[in-house]
Structure 1
């Protein structure tokens, strides 16, 4: 998403609000101020686009996004096996302290997004030269994005400040933490307001009313409010705005972005004009050295074993297996970096350093160097599986199975027969969701975290990691490592913040 040079009320890109004295500088007459900005419809549009931007990272860097924000969550999960490269060692071994750059960047980026959303919600209502429907849509987007950023922070740090206004005095720069219940309530309120204000259609990549409805379903599922979740998921399904794309792999090639399966995705492009660099390095990070990549991480052995059971009626691997991993099979192929064409597994097997690789997002789309592929945050397949989970937990497992089989059918995976509630729960948790959604940003770790604190069927993460034979599982401390510490950068500057247990 194209970055905009929007200079507004205060700077939040240093992480969290730290103190206004740090920003006292002589006035620069060439910079925009709150008196010269927020005057018309174009300013409002620029302000909301700036609110989307921290989805990539607070500083707009492709390296911050992948090598810090992405790593912070996925290195802890059970579907990924990090290579021995030195990246995120403390994260993957559960030995990190409080000042690791990975989760610190996650914190900084999401609070930067909240700050921008609060600016839009503060100043856009006062703009006179703006069409009312445009104003409502922009305010709806700001409510949605503020909800999303708080939702992500809540599931990564749990005990977080709830920020719903711009700071007005020194005390506002040192907020206290809210209860998780208060944060959930605000997220719901923001999403409901977004659902009311957002239009039915919008520019590609910008949210619409059913995006808010889908996320209401998701937050209800995370709170185990299964009937409420079902109602929202049903509303999204009934809207007929979404469908599964015919070819599973089309969600990740960069050639069919914002398609009918997309509910919300982070926008990237190949734009490098005016100092921008709208690319990320996923193609190099996942691709084997034998095909010109860096192979920073691999699918875990457990995930591969699950994928090998995801078969068609003829016993062949399903389409989603071929679309997710590069593995020892005559039909498995992967793209060489730098526009080198496709290579079969058999061609390079003798030069591979690992037996299996991810291939999602591996297509470089910028003349062979890095990629502008969008990163999915919620796909329709994800929603259907969440709907199935909510139905199953509500005692409607035969209906739930129909939605699971709908997702499986798209990839020609053999249909599942009748299952008990407990068996279908395990099937959804530890086969359908990881096989369909492997390595997709935030999804697996958020799933593991919410199931670990479930009131209906809890699964300690230490047990899951041990059962799935993840390295360093023995280091995981239940009650500590489910969440990250409050970053040292912020807690050292704000005496009102309390550190999370165990850190």
Structure 2
């Protein structure tokens, strides 16, 4: 049985609780109010659990659930969306608009997470009979998760409103946008607080998946990297990489083990999103108590030949990138064979000979796909998603060093990634900054395929438009800098009198 943190749904009004208790029916004992809740340590724990829930909410495009995960990939040169879901296909072919439901869902769910985090932070001081260390830890978790939601908002939408407390009156419900720089400052403030607070470095196996001090440090470094503050990014990443002997981080020897369901929450996991086949049977809709903690991502991306919905289709451009360099023994890069299924000698996919079942020219996703099983009618998957892997920390540290001209110091870091992939031990002595960055760019692409990082890498490197247009993938002619970020949703513009659309939308 998998040992992991089971993020429980909490019944009643907490999921949608208003900060103004007069909006609730106080006479209904089945509805929670701010007077009847936020009393016990268990209330505070449950409040924190609902913030984690928002990350995987299938009804509102949780950031690591099926909708948002596909949108992170299907607008890159590596994938294209199937055309049966209008909003996803619109994003994939650069035809989305402020009315696109899927991007509206991402915006909404990030603010649901922020709202829940603000509740925990606001009401934590009034909880009685709680150990102070535990109170501080839960507040730190909530603050980290608030920062994570703002991080996701700023990389997806740019300039957005900032809320750091619950609404005290009706005027507080509506806020104008803060600048992108101000949102980044809020992200830094939240991650710094979490990194320097009571967050633990380790949890029992039954609570794996909760935010740790090291996760906050890693995300703080990533924030500085995205802001191109290379020195501060290096400072944060070095705290982890220079202390592997005590923090236990490292790379798994076998890349494929990262996605086989048997090595989850390993030494390579910095922050991992948990799924499990527990709870109810409902994927979409229904009451919180009826929903499963599993995901349908495996069915979403599997071929039709085995009952899948083939919603994310790998491109030949991706296969070429994955097979660009072979191992020292002449084999395919193990990241290629762990990530994609295609027609090569001995290729087996869903227990079938690949060419015989799927065709000689097909390319399908293998990573996180339960591809070793035949369909038995239950497509709910409990394979976790990585929000932050240690390999990401290593390559981000290499990038931060490279961008400061410390190319020689970046070389051994990049070598660790290449060595795990069993690639040739190339000499990087005397490499220029450009040569090292080109290698880092390539390694990041093949290392993190299907993990939702590539689009944001291309954009911050300034290569996004060139890569999309030169790939000639479907919809490339529609692409322009307009699509670097999502537009502010039409519903937000209609409901918030202080909201304006971001340029160039």
Superposition TM-score, scaled by structure 1 size:
0.89
Residue 489 of structure 1, aligned match among 488, 491, 496: 491
List gaps (5 residues or longer) in structure 2.
1-6, 281-288
Residues 456-479 of structure 1 deviation map (CA, whole Å, 9 limit, x = unaligned): xxx3x221111233222221122x
Q: How far apart are 1:22 and its partner, in Å? A: 12
SS in 1 for 2:112: helix
Partner SS, residue 492 of structure 1: helix
Q: Trace 1:29-428 onto structure 2 (pairs within 5 A).
A: 29-57=29-57, 59=59, 65-66=65-66, 68-87=67-86, 88-197=88-197, 198-202=199-203, 203-240=207-244, 241=247, 242-273=249-280, 274-334=289-349, 336=350, 342-350=351-359, 355-363=362-370, 368-418=378-428, 419-428=431-440
Q: After TM superposition, give the deviation of residue 74 of structure 1 in Å.
A: 2.2
State how far apart, in whole Å, the 2-side matches of 1:216 and 1:77 are.
25
Q: Count the aligned residue pairs.
A: 478
4+ residue runs over 6 A deviation: 60-64, 364-367
Contact 2:60 2:106 (C-alpha < 8 Å) held by counterparts: no
Secondary structure (helix, strand or coil) at the match of 1:99 reads: coil
Instruction: Quote the Cα distance in structure 1 between the aligned partners of 2:48 and 2:369.
Output: 30
SS in 1 for 2:447: helix
Q: Per-residue deviation at 1:130?
A: 0.8
**Kept in 1: contact 2:120–2:142 (CA 8 A):** yes
Q: TM-score, normalised by structure 2?
A: 0.89
Deviates more, 1:301-310 or 1:225-234: 301-310
Question: Secondary structure of 1:120's partner?
Answer: helix
Q: Is the 2:162–2:177 Cα contact (8 Å) retained in structure 1?
A: yes
Q: Is the 8 A contact 2:143 2:194 kept in 1?
A: yes
Please state whether the residue corresponding to 2:272 is helix, strand or coil. Answer: strand
Q: Distance in 1 between matches of 2:60 and 2:496?
A: 26
1:300, distance to aligned residue in structure 2 (A)? 2.1
1:254 CA drift (Å): 2.2
Q: Once the 2 structures are TM-superposed, how far is the Cα of residue 43 of structure 1 from its aligned partner? A: 1.3
Assess, with a 3 A threshold, how the Cα gap between structure 1 residues 386 and 99 changes in structure 2: closer, same or farther.
Answer: same
Q: Which runs of 5+ in 1 are unaligned?
A: 337-341, 453-458
Match of residue 475 from structure 1: 478
C-alpha change, 1:24 and 1:58, in structure 2 (3 Å) is farther
Q: Is 1:498 matched up with 2:500?
A: yes
* Alpha carbons 2:24, 2:31 under 8 Å: kept: no
RMSD: 2.4
| CA-to-aligned-CA distance 1:103-162 (integer Å, 9 cap, x gap) | 111001110000011011001122121111111111111111010000110011101001
Render the CA deviation track for 1:31-72: whole Å, top value 9, x for unaligned: 222122111211111111111111012747899931x32233
Secondary structure, aligned partner of 1:125? helix
Per the TM alignment, residue 195 of structure 1 is displaced from its structure 2 partner at its CA by 0.8
Equivalent of 2:11 in 5, 29, 34:
5
The answer to whether the 8 A contact 1:6-1:47 is kept is: no
CA distance 1:286–1:417, shift in 2 (3 Å) = farther
Q: Which segment is superposed worse, 242-251 or 117-126?
A: 242-251
Q: Is contact 2:301-2:310 (8 Å) kept? A: yes
Q: Distance in 2 between matches of 1:6 and 1:246?
A: 45
Q: Using the alignment, how far apart are the partners of 2:22 and 2:126 within structure 1?
A: 29
